[in-house]
């Protein structure tokens, strides 16, 4: 019986099937909200209000011809999409969607999750470099430069919450917040959201995929099923990053009346809508502007938040 329960949690709810549904749902919410912010309609015909459009796009790409260019590194080029999907899937299994993670939580799992986010960026770089296309190579180089800029403030903003709560376990952090950390550490939340936007390569940080400059960046040579998997991986990363923000800054699934999983998903939708709103407000930055902005503003702000957190912690000990 325990094996059946474990199987259901890993593969059905709140596991892989549920995460896949959330990925397509969040893509639809993002596209619909982004369109509304720009006074457009957005997806409309595939299902009620176009809710099935992400699934239709995925099926369409899966049905197209799978082409491997002649001069690419075949091993890396063909396997990169598999790893791109596997990493956010595995990381999302540590999100306490229903109050407890699917995989056992442990002290330090936040560090593991941030490391997995780093690993995804490395996959992006290797995939673009293996394509041997000039646009893909430029996109891959931009991805790694961007990574060196936003990853540090993101780590520090998460560390500030971990220091305040006194744990590096994501489940413990989400369940032991007297009030949501967004109220106690607003600077850290702002830094995290901006860094998350860069992590997801979303406007104004879609620099590695800048369509008007380098075709599709590191994705240029991908098509058919491989592109379907890579697009699906982006949706899964949106699920994971919004879930991470919810667990760290919005007290996870805590809330009155409704079950924890409902509160958790509602808070994740809030993060997705916030990300969509940021997309609609700004134009794309240049890579030098992005790197300079992170080092000049985000890193000092994240360090300031960490210092304030430590100061409050020491002050409370003296009271």
Tell me how far apart the alpha carbons of residues 250 and 244 are, in angstroms, rounded to a whole number: 9
Q: What is the pLDDT of residue 9?
A: 81
Check: CB of residue 140 under 8 Å from CB of residue 124: yes
Q: What is the pLDDT of residue 42?
A: 81
Element (H, E) at 180: none
Q: What is the pLDDT of residue 139?
A: 84
Q: What is the pLDDT of residue 73?
A: 79
Token pair 């360090």 is found at: 303
Chain center to CA of 227: 18
All structural domains of the chain with their residue ranges:
2-318
Task: Classify 183 as helix, strand or coil.
Answer: helix
Q: What is the pLDDT of residue 1?
A: 59
Among candidate residues 229, 238, 200, the one with its CA nearest the CA of residue 84: 229
CA dihedral 131, 136, 140, 146 (to 10 degrees): -160
Taking only the tens of pLDDT, the chain with its 319 residues reads 567 777 788 888 788 899 999 999 999 999 999 999 888 888 888 888 889 999 999 999 888 888 888 788 788 888 888 999 999 999 999 898 887 777 777 888 899 998 988 888 888 888 888 887 888 888 888 888 888 888 899 999 999 999 888 888 998 899 888 888 998 889 999 999 999 998 888 888 888 777 777 777 777 888 888 989 999 999 999 999 999 999 999 988 888 888 889 999 999 999 999 999 998 888 888 888 888 888 889 999 999 998 888 887 766 666 5
Q: What is the pLDDT of residue 167?
A: 87
Among candidate residues 84, 77, 61, the one with its CA nearest the CA of residue 224: 61
């Amino acid at each position: 019986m325990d094996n059946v329960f474990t199987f259901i949690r890993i593969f059905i709810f709140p596991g892989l099937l549920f995460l896949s549904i959330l990925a397509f749902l969040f893509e639809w919410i993002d596209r619909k909200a982004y369109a509304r912010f720009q006074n457009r309609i957005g997806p409309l015909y595939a299902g009620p209000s176009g809710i099935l459009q992400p699934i239709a796009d995925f099926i369409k790409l899966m049905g197209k011809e799978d082409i491997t260019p002649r001069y690419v590194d075949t091993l890396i080029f063909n396997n990169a999409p598999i790893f791109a999907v596997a990493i956010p899937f595995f990381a999302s299994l540590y999100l306490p969607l229903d109050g407890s993670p699917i995989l056992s939580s442990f002290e330090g799992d936040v560090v593991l999750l941030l490391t997995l986010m780093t690993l995804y960026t490395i996959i992006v770089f290797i995939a673009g470099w293996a394509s041997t296309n000039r646009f893909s190579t430029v996109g891959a180089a931009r991805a790694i430069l961007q990574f060196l800029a936003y990853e540090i403030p993101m780590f520090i903003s998460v560390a500030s919450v971990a220091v305040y709560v006194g744990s590096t376990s994501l489940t413990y952090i989400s369940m032991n917040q007297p009030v949501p950390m967004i109220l106690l550490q607003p600077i850290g939340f702002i830094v995290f959201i901006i860094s998350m936007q860069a992590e997801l390569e979303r406007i104004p940080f879609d620099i590695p995929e800048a369509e008007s400059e380098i075709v599709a960046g590191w994705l240029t040579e991908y098509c058919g099923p491989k592109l379907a998997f890579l697009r699906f991986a982006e949706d899964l990363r949106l699920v994971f990053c919004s879930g991470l923000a919810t667990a760290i800054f919005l007290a996870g699934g805590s809330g009155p009346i409704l079950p924890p999983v409902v509160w958790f998903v509602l808070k994740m939708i809030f993060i997705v809508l916030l990300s969509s709103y940021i997309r609609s407000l700004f134009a794309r930055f240049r890579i030098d502007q992005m790197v300079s902005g992170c080092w000049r503003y985000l890193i000092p702000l994240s360090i300031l938040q960490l210092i304030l957190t430590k100061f409050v912690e020491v002050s409370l000990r003296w009271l």
